[in-house]
Protein backbone atom coordinates (compact mmCIF):
# COMPACT_ATOMS: atom_id res chain seq x y z
CA UNK A 1 0.00 0.00 0.00
CA UNK A 2 1.36 3.42 -0.98
CA UNK A 3 -1.64 5.62 -0.14
CA UNK A 4 -5.16 4.74 0.98
CA UNK A 5 -8.15 6.93 1.79
CA UNK A 6 -10.61 5.39 4.24
CA UNK A 7 -14.06 6.17 5.63
CA UNK A 8 -14.67 5.30 9.30
CA UNK A 9 -18.46 5.36 9.84
CA UNK A 10 -20.23 6.16 13.09
CA UNK A 11 -21.19 3.03 15.03
CA UNK A 12 -24.72 3.00 16.48
CA UNK A 13 -25.99 0.60 19.13
CA UNK A 14 -29.65 0.05 18.30
CA UNK A 15 -29.83 -2.03 21.49
CA UNK A 16 -27.35 -2.56 24.32
CA UNK A 17 -28.21 -5.14 26.96
CA UNK A 18 -25.68 -5.58 29.78
CA UNK A 19 -26.00 -9.26 30.69
CA UNK A 20 -23.24 -9.81 33.25
CA UNK A 21 -19.70 -9.08 34.34
CA UNK A 22 -16.72 -11.42 34.29
CA UNK A 23 -14.34 -11.89 37.20
CA UNK A 24 -11.76 -9.74 35.39
CA UNK A 25 -14.19 -6.80 35.35
CA UNK A 26 -15.18 -6.93 31.68
CA UNK A 27 -18.92 -6.52 31.09
CA UNK A 28 -20.89 -8.98 28.97
CA UNK A 29 -23.05 -7.36 26.31
CA UNK A 30 -25.76 -8.24 23.83
CA UNK A 31 -26.12 -5.48 21.24
CA UNK A 32 -27.42 -4.82 17.73
CA UNK A 33 -24.83 -2.65 15.99
CA UNK A 34 -25.23 -0.74 12.73
CA UNK A 35 -23.19 1.86 10.87
CA UNK A 36 -24.02 5.27 9.42
CA UNK A 37 -23.72 5.71 5.66
CA UNK A 38 -23.29 9.49 5.76
CA UNK A 39 -21.59 10.17 9.11
CA UNK A 40 -18.00 9.31 9.91
CA UNK A 41 -14.35 10.26 10.11
CA UNK A 42 -11.90 10.10 7.22
CA UNK A 43 -8.34 8.83 7.16
CA UNK A 44 -5.48 8.96 4.71
CA UNK A 45 -2.59 6.51 5.07
CA UNK A 46 0.72 6.92 3.26
CA UNK A 47 3.34 4.24 3.73
CA UNK A 48 6.72 5.37 5.02
CA UNK A 49 9.62 4.55 7.29
CA UNK A 50 8.19 5.92 10.55
CA UNK A 51 4.79 6.35 12.16
CA UNK A 52 3.15 9.76 12.46
CA UNK A 53 -0.39 11.07 13.00
CA UNK A 54 -1.92 14.45 12.18
CA UNK A 55 -5.49 15.24 13.26
CA UNK A 56 -7.73 17.90 11.70
CA UNK A 57 -11.44 18.55 11.27
CA UNK A 58 -14.26 20.08 13.31
CA UNK A 59 -13.69 17.71 16.28
CA UNK A 60 -9.89 17.63 16.23
CA UNK A 61 -9.49 19.55 19.50
CA UNK A 62 -8.21 17.35 22.29
CA UNK A 63 -7.58 14.29 20.10
CA UNK A 64 -4.09 12.89 20.83
CA UNK A 65 -1.63 12.60 17.96
CA UNK A 66 0.63 10.03 19.61
CA UNK A 67 0.45 6.42 20.91
CA UNK A 68 -2.53 7.31 23.10
CA UNK A 69 -4.67 7.36 19.94
CA UNK A 70 -6.26 4.04 18.93
CA UNK A 71 -5.35 4.75 15.29
CA UNK A 72 -1.67 4.87 16.23
CA UNK A 73 -1.97 1.71 18.34
CA UNK A 74 -3.75 -0.12 15.52
CA UNK A 75 -1.08 0.71 12.96
CA UNK A 76 1.74 -0.04 15.40
CA UNK A 77 0.13 -3.33 16.47
CA UNK A 78 -0.16 -4.35 12.82
CA UNK A 79 3.51 -3.57 12.23
CA UNK A 80 2.76 -0.84 9.70
CA UNK A 81 4.67 2.45 9.40
CA UNK A 82 3.79 5.66 7.59
CA UNK A 83 1.99 8.98 7.82
CA UNK A 84 -1.63 8.96 8.99
CA UNK A 85 -3.99 11.89 8.53
CA UNK A 86 -7.22 11.72 10.53
CA UNK A 87 -10.07 14.15 9.83
CA UNK A 88 -12.51 14.12 12.76
CA UNK A 89 -16.16 14.70 11.90
CA UNK A 90 -17.53 12.64 14.81
CA UNK A 91 -17.70 14.05 18.35
CA UNK A 92 -15.63 12.13 20.88
CA UNK A 93 -16.84 10.70 24.15
CA UNK A 94 -20.13 10.30 22.32
CA UNK A 95 -21.04 6.59 22.27
CA UNK A 96 -20.77 6.25 18.48
CA UNK A 97 -17.41 4.51 18.33
CA UNK A 98 -15.35 7.31 16.79
CA UNK A 99 -11.96 6.09 17.98
CA UNK A 100 -12.87 2.42 17.61
CA UNK A 101 -14.16 2.93 14.08
CA UNK A 102 -11.02 4.89 13.16
CA UNK A 103 -8.77 2.09 14.42
CA UNK A 104 -10.91 -0.55 12.71
CA UNK A 105 -10.75 1.34 9.42
CA UNK A 106 -6.96 1.25 9.57
CA UNK A 107 -6.95 -2.50 10.28
CA UNK A 108 -9.50 -3.16 7.54
CA UNK A 109 -7.47 -1.20 4.97
CA UNK A 110 -4.27 -3.02 5.90
CA UNK A 111 -6.00 -6.41 5.71
CA UNK A 112 -7.48 -5.56 2.29
CA UNK A 113 -3.96 -4.81 1.08
CA UNK A 114 -2.78 -8.24 2.21
CA UNK A 115 -1.16 -7.12 5.45
CA UNK A 116 -1.17 -9.89 8.09
CA UNK A 117 -2.83 -8.77 11.33
CA UNK A 118 -1.93 -10.36 14.68
CA UNK A 119 -4.69 -12.59 16.02
CA UNK A 120 -6.62 -10.81 18.76
CA UNK A 121 -5.36 -7.33 17.85
CA UNK A 122 -8.83 -5.79 17.27
CA UNK A 123 -10.23 -6.89 20.65
CA UNK A 124 -7.05 -5.78 22.43
CA UNK A 125 -7.79 -2.24 21.20
CA UNK A 126 -11.32 -2.17 22.66
CA UNK A 127 -14.64 -4.01 22.81
CA UNK A 128 -16.10 -2.08 19.85
CA UNK A 129 -13.17 -2.58 17.48
CA UNK A 130 -14.00 -6.13 16.26
CA UNK A 131 -17.55 -5.19 15.23
CA UNK A 132 -16.22 -2.01 13.61
CA UNK A 133 -13.73 -4.10 11.62
CA UNK A 134 -16.70 -6.12 10.33
CA UNK A 135 -18.29 -2.77 9.39
CA UNK A 136 -21.82 -4.10 8.78
CA UNK A 137 -24.97 -4.77 10.78
CA UNK A 138 -24.23 -7.38 13.43
CA UNK A 139 -25.19 -8.80 16.78
CA UNK A 140 -22.30 -8.26 19.20
CA UNK A 141 -22.09 -10.48 22.27
CA UNK A 142 -19.65 -11.46 24.98
CA UNK A 143 -17.07 -8.74 25.63
CA UNK A 144 -17.19 -7.78 21.96
CA UNK A 145 -15.53 -10.84 20.44
CA UNK A 146 -18.69 -12.71 19.38
CA UNK A 147 -19.91 -11.11 16.12
CA UNK A 148 -22.88 -12.48 14.17
CA UNK A 149 -23.86 -10.73 10.89
CA UNK A 150 -27.56 -9.85 10.66
CA UNK A 151 -29.85 -8.60 7.92
CA UNK A 152 -31.75 -5.38 8.58
CA UNK A 153 -33.65 -2.99 6.31
CA UNK A 154 -31.98 0.35 5.64
CA UNK A 155 -32.95 2.56 8.58
CA UNK A 156 -33.41 6.32 7.97
CA UNK A 157 -32.18 8.03 11.12
CA UNK A 158 -31.21 11.27 12.78
CA UNK A 159 -28.10 11.26 14.98
CA UNK A 160 -27.86 13.94 17.67
CA UNK A 161 -25.19 14.83 20.18
CA UNK A 162 -25.96 17.58 22.72
CA UNK A 163 -22.31 18.61 23.03
CA UNK A 164 -21.39 16.83 26.25
CA UNK A 165 -18.77 14.11 26.68
CA UNK A 166 -19.68 11.15 28.89
CA UNK A 167 -16.87 9.04 30.45
CA UNK A 168 -17.68 5.38 29.85
CA UNK A 169 -16.29 4.34 33.24
CA UNK A 170 -18.60 6.72 35.10
CA UNK A 171 -21.63 5.32 33.26
CA UNK A 172 -20.81 1.69 34.05
CA UNK A 173 -20.13 2.66 37.67
CA UNK A 174 -23.64 4.13 37.89
CA UNK A 175 -25.25 1.01 36.42
CA UNK A 176 -27.75 -0.38 38.94
CA UNK A 177 -27.87 -3.96 37.60
CA UNK A 178 -25.22 -5.85 35.64
CA UNK A 179 -27.16 -9.09 35.18
CA UNK A 180 -29.97 -8.18 32.82
CA UNK A 181 -31.89 -10.21 30.24
CA UNK A 182 -30.35 -10.57 26.76
CA UNK A 183 -32.23 -10.03 23.56
CA UNK A 184 -34.34 -12.96 22.30
CA UNK A 185 -32.17 -15.79 21.01
CA UNK A 186 -33.69 -15.64 17.54
CA UNK A 187 -34.13 -12.26 15.90
CA UNK A 188 -37.16 -11.69 13.65
CA UNK A 189 -37.10 -10.84 9.96
CA UNK A 190 -38.23 -7.26 9.43
CA UNK A 191 -40.42 -6.17 6.54
CA UNK A 192 -39.28 -2.54 6.76
CA UNK A 193 -38.18 0.27 9.03
CA UNK A 194 -41.57 0.57 10.82
CA UNK A 195 -41.54 -3.14 11.67
CA UNK A 196 -37.94 -2.93 12.87
CA UNK A 197 -38.57 0.19 14.96
CA UNK A 198 -41.56 -1.43 16.67
CA UNK A 199 -39.44 -4.41 17.69
CA UNK A 200 -36.53 -2.23 18.80
CA UNK A 201 -38.90 -0.27 21.03
CA UNK A 202 -39.34 -3.42 23.10
CA UNK A 203 -35.56 -3.74 23.62
CA UNK A 204 -33.24 -1.59 25.76
CA UNK A 205 -30.03 0.30 26.23
CA UNK A 206 -29.18 -0.57 29.83
CA UNK A 207 -26.66 2.29 29.96
CA UNK A 208 -29.22 4.97 29.12
CA UNK A 209 -30.45 5.63 32.67
CA UNK A 210 -26.98 5.77 34.28
CA UNK A 211 -25.72 7.99 31.44
CA UNK A 212 -28.60 10.41 31.99
CA UNK A 213 -27.67 10.51 35.68
CA UNK A 214 -24.14 11.55 34.66
CA UNK A 215 -25.25 13.92 31.85
CA UNK A 216 -28.89 15.12 32.09
CA UNK A 217 -28.53 16.79 28.68
CA UNK A 218 -29.12 13.35 27.16
CA UNK A 219 -32.72 13.45 28.38
CA UNK A 220 -33.31 16.70 26.49
CA UNK A 221 -31.89 15.20 23.30
CA UNK A 222 -34.09 12.12 23.64
CA UNK A 223 -37.15 14.25 24.34
CA UNK A 224 -36.60 16.38 21.25
CA UNK A 225 -36.07 13.30 19.08
CA UNK A 226 -39.17 11.52 20.40
CA UNK A 227 -41.35 14.59 19.84
CA UNK A 228 -40.03 15.25 16.33
CA UNK A 229 -42.43 14.70 13.45
CA UNK A 230 -42.73 11.09 12.22
CA UNK A 231 -40.21 9.70 14.74
CA UNK A 232 -40.75 5.95 15.12
CA UNK A 233 -38.53 5.45 18.18
CA UNK A 234 -35.50 7.04 19.85
CA UNK A 235 -32.71 5.74 22.06
CA UNK A 236 -29.22 6.56 23.28
CA UNK A 237 -26.29 4.86 21.54
CA UNK A 238 -23.52 3.09 23.42
CA UNK A 239 -22.64 4.72 26.72
CA UNK A 240 -23.77 8.14 25.44
CA UNK A 241 -24.09 10.96 24.91
CA UNK A 242 -25.22 10.60 21.28
CA UNK A 243 -28.83 9.59 20.60
CA UNK A 244 -30.71 8.50 17.49
CA UNK A 245 -34.26 8.36 16.19
CA UNK A 246 -35.62 6.27 13.32
CA UNK A 247 -37.98 7.64 10.67
CA UNK A 248 -40.05 6.14 7.83
CA UNK A 249 -38.01 8.00 5.19
CA UNK A 250 -34.68 9.80 4.89
CA UNK A 251 -36.62 12.93 3.95
CA UNK A 252 -38.39 12.81 7.32
CA UNK A 253 -35.01 12.41 9.05
CA UNK A 254 -33.66 15.46 7.21
CA UNK A 255 -36.73 17.48 8.21
CA UNK A 256 -36.21 16.55 11.85
CA UNK A 257 -32.53 17.49 11.56
CA UNK A 258 -33.55 20.91 10.26
CA UNK A 259 -36.04 21.50 13.09
CA UNK A 260 -33.81 20.26 15.93
CA UNK A 261 -30.73 21.91 14.45
CA UNK A 262 -32.53 25.25 14.25
CA UNK A 263 -33.56 25.00 17.90
CA UNK A 264 -30.14 23.78 19.05
CA UNK A 265 -27.50 25.15 16.65
CA UNK A 266 -24.75 24.08 19.05
CA UNK A 267 -25.76 20.39 18.78
CA UNK A 268 -24.31 17.93 16.30
CA UNK A 269 -27.18 16.72 14.08
CA UNK A 270 -26.76 14.40 11.08
CA UNK A 271 -29.49 12.70 9.05
CA UNK A 272 -28.26 9.42 7.59
CA UNK A 273 -29.12 5.81 6.80
CA UNK A 274 -28.08 3.03 9.17
CA UNK A 275 -27.21 -0.48 8.10
Q: Which residues are tagged catalytic?
A: 11, 128
Compute the distance between CA of residue 194 and CA of residue 261 in angstroms, rounded to an integer: 24
- The full DSSP string for 257-275 is HHHHHHH-TTSEEEEEEE-
CA distance from start to end of the chain: 28
The span from the CA of 192 to the CA of 205, in Å, is 22
159 Cβ neighbours under 8 A, 6+ residues apart: 10, 12, 36, 39, 96, 237, 242, 243, 244, 268, 269, 270, 271, 272
d(CA 11, CA 32): 10
For residues 179 and 16, give the distance between their C-alpha atoms in angstroms, rounded to a whole number.
13
Amino acid sequence: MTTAEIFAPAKINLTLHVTGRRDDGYHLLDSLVVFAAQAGDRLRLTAGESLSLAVSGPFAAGVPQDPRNLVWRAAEGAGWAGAMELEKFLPHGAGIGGGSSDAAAVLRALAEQGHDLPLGLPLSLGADVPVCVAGAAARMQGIGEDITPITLPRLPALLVNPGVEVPTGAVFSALASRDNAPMPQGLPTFAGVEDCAAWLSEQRNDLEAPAIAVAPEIMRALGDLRSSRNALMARMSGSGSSCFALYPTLKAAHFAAYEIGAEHPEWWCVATELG
